[in-house]
């Protein structure tokens, strides 16, 4: 049998433990837990037993797909778990491969949870990590078993990989961002070649890259010019002269190896030699994607997303607000989105109906990044198709056409960074070749070109209102669709011509639509100009002029015109950029608010986060009954700028799920971010959802996860704030007035705009002390004390204008200060005088618990890190002081406040304004003490009667 060729190598994995292996009867494989559909793919199973661990050797058919390894090992492991075994090690040998695949299983308390670690073992290139694993495996005993699994679980593959790439990229000087991106693209090509070499598709040689590079170095030939450039051309299917014989190579195509060295910096042989050696000899690689219940040890496709995050210029990543999502969360979100969409289609549990429904589903990721969400959606769609395929269609080579069909018909993506688009293509291509095993590299199937499905561009700048009839009426539209149909599977010699013609026609279509819009605008303007005086209006009204709006270079309705003609996308999923309003250019924000098409009822005003723009624009692209699934900052649940969006989701959508991951800082991202996954379906007939509709809510706090359901109408309180917490919560009892309804308006402390110029530890000696006042900062508000820690320049205490007569020292001080404006020789500060009421209730804006102090107005100046509430009468202020420091008030605000880092909460003005007071708060029996300058928060604790 063919597997005998590789059996000796597989036995060497276990070392001396190979002597324990005994064949298992083939007729009893079903009792061992092997799934029925895979029984004919298992050639032989051998079992070895030790009290502390089980050893399995699996010889599988070359037709068995790698994704099935998890099902086979998981089924056997579940059977062993029921018998009380704790650990198991599997070695899987593919009959058509010279490599081995190791699977390590550890029992969990919940038998349905599997801890499976996968490691692809390439005998020709063993990394240090692989040698450590094999060393522990060969000397395994009861004490080393936990150490082996601890190594698998805790080893950081990403950090050394990133360090190697960053170190090598840092050795070359790039003149601009385009040069840096071209260099990163070259590195990605080399990484893809490593995956292909491990499959022995490069002239059957497991050392192909090292051999060819060594030949170039020995002859002092340029590796880039003599080897890599011809190699890339051959892989693309282009005719090229070969200075070095390249041997038998696959025709991969797809556009990955399209090479233009004009943007690259000068690259020496030593740099390429060291990079390839470091990548090949120091790391383990696997084509498997990590999934829930399966952890891939080594560098897999999922790592490419992290590679992009770390190799992307830091300034770009901060400016764009991009954070890349862990794979397990994207898989969960994509599966939930597609399931919710299928539920609306009323497919039920019928696998055939589900398969037919998703055949033409259109899924868009508007910020696809490295393709994490599109890869997860691809896998979810593939699982639906596999559920109805006969067993003989699950085998290697027969899934290629199905996978290609899913990619070309169902998946679409946009990203502002072209390197991110390239990474998405690479991840999808790696999923395509994952199960392909061929003896002749020339028989490897060509990769589809995804440039039509995945586009580079700014998603928010691609929206232009378009009449669908005008697209259909364009004379060349049929020709454009014909080119689009031919392009994905076209061969390299004609692909560039097709792409050039396709882009030219798209440009002509965009110009045609622009001309139609301008003609319509011109007609409207002419009609207005033809009426010199409208009925009821006087002469001399504002003159009507014809203004041509700015048109973007690319248009979403042109790039995805077929989808738009079908009323839009079925599912839009992803993790849009999170960028606070203060970091968005004001001109760009104004342009977005004016020109971005959004659903009726959604108003983009105030300090809008960039993710809200993405959400509103995506809702406008959904077809009726379409589904939106975004990972958003948790602050949208309470932020005032998202109030209209929340109202739209409540009234016009059916909210399917809300997954809150924000209770623990950095749980998903290496940043102070607090994410929540929102999944909602757009109703075909907008109306108020039924009270019987239940929203699935999950609260994730480390290892403590809570899952429950709640009526959609009960998510929001009467102030429009959303609450996800389980159990009794105060949701806006109409009988209880809020602070805002009673006329109390919390205010932020004084914002100087230039602390270094106007805030001092002690007043400067050369200036009059009367010009300074104590400044109370947030950090100065402690439970047992209120002590101002700084002084602020506060010249507003004079009866006359403070800037009329200034001494020389003060004039010089203001001349050197930042942000001081001068007009007619008089200075103007960046902050103004502020009247204070007799009593102020003051608190810091970020704290673990809401602690409120009571001070006399004017005793000190509140800093910008504090908020305060003004009161005219001491008795009223003291009652509020007592209630604010009660456990009831703290519980209310925790339920509606935005979360901050280190388990703190933001107690903003709009948050505190929603605090509800008892109906009889002015009549509660409370002893009012004598007045004094300040009352610390500790003095207000336990004052309010329970």
Helix (H) or strand (E) holding 104: strand 100-106
* The pLDDT of residue 671: 61
Cα-based distances in Å from 549 to 518, 521, 522, 546, 596: 8, 10, 11, 10, 13
Cα 946 from Cα 930, distance rounded (Å): 23
In this predicted model, which residue has the larger pLDDT, 319 or 509? 509
The pLDDT-based confidence of 549 (bands split at 50, 70, 90) is: very low
* The pLDDT of residue 644: 93
> Burial letters for 323-353: b for 16+ Cβ neighbours within 10 Å, e otherwise?
bbbbbbbbbbbbbbbbbbbbebeebeeeeee
Mean pLDDT of the chain, nearest integer? 85
Is 50 exceeded by the pLDDT of residue 3?
no
Cα 13 from Cα 138, distance rounded (Å): 8
Which of 2, 1, 17, 6 minimizes the C-alpha distance to 101? 6
* The pLDDT of residue 2: 36
* The pLDDT of residue 113: 46
Cα 446 from Cα 433, distance rounded (Å): 10
The pLDDT-based confidence of 322 (bands split at 50, 70, 90) is: low
Cα 348 from Cα 706, distance rounded (Å): 26
Largest CA distance in the chain: 104
The answer to whether the beta carbons of residues 633 and 587 sit under 8 Å apart is no
With 0-12 / 13-18 / 19 or more C-beta atoms within 10 angstroms meaning exposed / middle / buried, residue 531 is exposed
Mean pLDDT for the stretch of residues 383-411: 85
Least confident of 429-433, 869-873, 934-938: 429-433
* The pLDDT of residue 653: 92
The answer to whether the beta carbons of residues 246 and 234 sit under 8 Å apart is yes
Is 60 exceeded by the pLDDT of residue 732?
no
Cα 724 from Cα 448, distance rounded (Å): 44
Cα 589 from Cα 609, distance rounded (Å): 10
Least confident of 278-282, 699-703, 711-715, 934-938: 699-703
pLDDT tens-place string over residues 95-116:
656 678 888 988 765 434 457 8
Q: What is the CA radius of gyration of the chain?
A: 33
* The pLDDT of residue 319: 61
Residue reference for tokens 């192909």: 208
* The pLDDT of residue 313: 55
Which residues, listed in sequence order, are joined to residue 296 by a DSSP beta bridge? 118
Mean pLDDT for the stretch of residues 719-742: 73
φ and ψ at 629, to 5 degrees?
Answer: -135, 105
* The pLDDT of residue 778: 94
Highest mean pLDDT among 239-253, 315-329, 617-631: 617-631
What one-character DSSP code corresponds to residue 228?
I
The pLDDT-based confidence of 179 (bands split at 50, 70, 90) is: confident
Mean pLDDT for the stretch of residues 318-338: 81
Which residues, listed in sequence order, are joined to residue 525 by a DSSP beta bridge? none
pLDDT tens-place string over residues 906-920:
999 999 999 999 988
Percent of residues, the chain, with pLDDT higher than 90 = 34
Which of 760, 745, 737, 645 minimizes the C-alpha distance to 921? 737
In this predicted model, which residue has the larger pLDDT, 174 or 318? 174
Least confident of 461-465, 533-537, 776-780: 533-537
Is 80 exceeded by the pLDDT of residue 530?
no
The tokens describing 849, both together, are: 């618990």
Mean pLDDT for the stretch of residues 210-215: 93
Least confident of 373-387, 522-536, 540-554, 686-700: 540-554
The tokens describing 86, both together, are: 């704790």
* The pLDDT of residue 70: 82
Q: How many CB atoms lie within 10 A of CB 17?
A: 18
Highest mean pLDDT among 189-193, 608-612, 867-871: 867-871
* The pLDDT of residue 567: 86
Highest mean pLDDT among 177-181, 264-268, 289-293, 505-509: 264-268
Percent of residues, the chain, with pLDDT higher than 70 = 89
In this predicted model, which residue has the larger pLDDT, 537 or 241? 241
Is 80 exceeded by the pLDDT of residue 398?
no
* The pLDDT of residue 688: 54
What one-character DSSP code corresponds to residue 226?
I
* The pLDDT of residue 392: 73
Cα 707 from Cα 277, distance rounded (Å): 48
């Amino acid at each position: 049998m063919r597997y005998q060729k590789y059996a000796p190598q597989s036995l060497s994995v276990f070392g001396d433990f190979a002597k324990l292996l005994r064949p298992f009867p083939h007729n009893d494989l079903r009792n061992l837990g092997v799934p029925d559909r895979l029984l004919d793919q298992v050639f032989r199973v051998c079992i070895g037993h030790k009290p502390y661990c089980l050893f399995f050797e699996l010889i599988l058919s070359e037709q068995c797909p790698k994704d099935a390894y998890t099902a086979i090992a998981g089924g056997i492991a579940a059977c062993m778990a029921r018998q009380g075994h704790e650990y198991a090690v599997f070695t899987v040998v593919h009959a058509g491969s010279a490599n081995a695949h190791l699977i390590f299983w550890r029992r969990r308390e919940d038998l349905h949870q599997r801890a499976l670690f996968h490691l692809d073992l390439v005998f020709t290139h063993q990394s240090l990590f692989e040698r450590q694993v094999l060393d522990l495996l060969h000397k395994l005993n009861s004490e080393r078993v936990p150490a082996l699994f601890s190594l698998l679980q805790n080893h950081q593959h990403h950090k050394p990989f990133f360090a190697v790439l960053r170190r090598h990229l840092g050795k070359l000087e790039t003149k601009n961002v385009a040069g840096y991106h071209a260099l990163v693209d070259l590195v990605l090509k080399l990484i893809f070649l490593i995956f292909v070499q491990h499959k022995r598709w490069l002239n059957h040689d497991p050392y192909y890259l090292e051999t060819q590079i060594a030949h170039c170095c020995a002859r002092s030939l340029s590796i880039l010019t003599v080897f890599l450039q011809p190699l890339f051309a051959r892989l693309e299917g282009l005719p090229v002269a070969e200075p070095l014989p390249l041997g038998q190579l696959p025709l991969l195509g797809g556009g990955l190896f399209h090479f233009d060295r004009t943007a690259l910096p000068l690259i020496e042989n030593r740099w390429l030699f060291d990079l390839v050696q470091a990548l090949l000899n120091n790391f383990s690689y696997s084509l498997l994607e990590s999934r829930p219940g399966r952890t891939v040890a080594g560098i897999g496709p999922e790592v490419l997303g992290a590679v992009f995050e770390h190799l992307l210029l830091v300034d770009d990543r901060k400016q764009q607000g991009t954070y890349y999502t862990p794979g397990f969360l994207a898989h969960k979100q994509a599966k939930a989105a597609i399931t919710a969409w299928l539920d609306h289609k009323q497919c039920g549990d019928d696998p055939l109906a589900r398969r037919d429904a998703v055949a033409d589903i259109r899924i868009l990721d508007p910020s696809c990044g490295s393709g994490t969400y599109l890869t997860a959606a691809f896998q979810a769609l593939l699982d639906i198709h596999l559920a109805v395929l006969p067993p003989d269609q699950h085998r290697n080579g027969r899934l290629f056409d199905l996978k290609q069909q899913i990619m070309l018909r169902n998946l679409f993506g946009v990203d502002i960074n072209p390197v991110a688009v390239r990474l998405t293509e690479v991840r999808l291509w790696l999923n395509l070749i994952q199960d392909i095993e061929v003896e002749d590299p020339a028989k490897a199937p060509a990769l589809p070109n995804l440039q039509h499905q995945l586009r580079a561009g700014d998603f928010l700048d691609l929206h232009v209102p378009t009449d669908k009839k005008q697209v259909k009426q364009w004379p060349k539209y049929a020709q454009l669709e014909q080119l689009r149909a031919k392009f994905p599977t076209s061969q390299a010699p004609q692909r560039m011509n097709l792409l050039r013609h396709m882009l030219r026609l798209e440009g002509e279509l965009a110009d045609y639509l622009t001309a139609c819009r301008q003609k319509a605008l011109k007609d409207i303007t002419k009609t207005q100009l033809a009426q010199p005086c409208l009925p009821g209006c006087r002469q001399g009204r504002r003159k009507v002029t014809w203004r041509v709006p700015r048109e973007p270079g690319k248009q979403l309705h042109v790039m995805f015109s077929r989808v738009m003609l079908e009323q839009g996308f079925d599912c839009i999923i992803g993790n849009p950029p999170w960028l606070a309003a203060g970091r968005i250019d004001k001109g760009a924000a104004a342009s977005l608010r004016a020109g971005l098409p959004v659903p009726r009822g959604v108003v983009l005003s105030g300090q809008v986060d960039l993710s809200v723009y993405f959400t509103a624009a995506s809702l406008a692209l959904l077809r009726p009954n379409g589904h939106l699934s975004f990972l958003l900052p948790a602050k949208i649940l309470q932020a005032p700028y998202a109030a209209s969006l929340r109202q739209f989701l409540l009234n016009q959508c059916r909210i399917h799920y809300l997954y809150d991951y924000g209770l623990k800082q950095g749980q998903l991202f290496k940043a102070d971010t607090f994410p929540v996954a929102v999944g909602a379906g757009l109703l075909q007939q907008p109306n108020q959802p039924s009270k019987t509709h239940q929203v699935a809510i999950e609260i994730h706090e480390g290892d403590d996860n809570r899952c429950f359901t709640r009526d959609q109408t009960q998510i929001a309180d009467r102030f429009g704030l959303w609450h996800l917490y389980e159990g009794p919560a105060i949701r806006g009892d109409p009988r209880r007035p809020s602070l805002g309804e009673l006329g109390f308006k919390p205010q932020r402390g004084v914002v100087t705009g230039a602390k270094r110029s106007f805030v001092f530890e002690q007043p400067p000696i050369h200036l009059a002390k009367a010009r300074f006042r104590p400044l109370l900062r947030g950090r100065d508000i402690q439970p047992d004390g209120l002590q101002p820690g700084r002084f602020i320049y506060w010249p507003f205490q004079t009866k006359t204008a403070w800037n009329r007569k200034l001494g020389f020292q003060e004039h010089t001080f203001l001349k050197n200060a930042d942000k001081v404006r001068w007009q007619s020789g008089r200075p103007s500060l960046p902050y103004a005088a502020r009247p204070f009421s007799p009593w102020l209730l003051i608190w810091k804006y970020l704290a673990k618990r809401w602690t409120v102090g009571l001070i006399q107005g004017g005793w000190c100046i509140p800093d910008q890190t504090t908020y305060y509430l003004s009161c005219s009468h001491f008795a009223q202020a003291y009652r509020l002081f007592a209630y604010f420091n009660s456990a009831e008030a703290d519980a209310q605000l925790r339920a509606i406040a935005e979360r901050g880092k280190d388990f703190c909460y933001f107690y903003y003005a709009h948050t505190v304004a929603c605090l509800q007071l008892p109906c009889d708060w002015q009549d509660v029996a409370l002893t009012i003490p004598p007045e004094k300058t300040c009352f610390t928060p500790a003095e207000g604790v336990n004052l309010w009667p329970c």
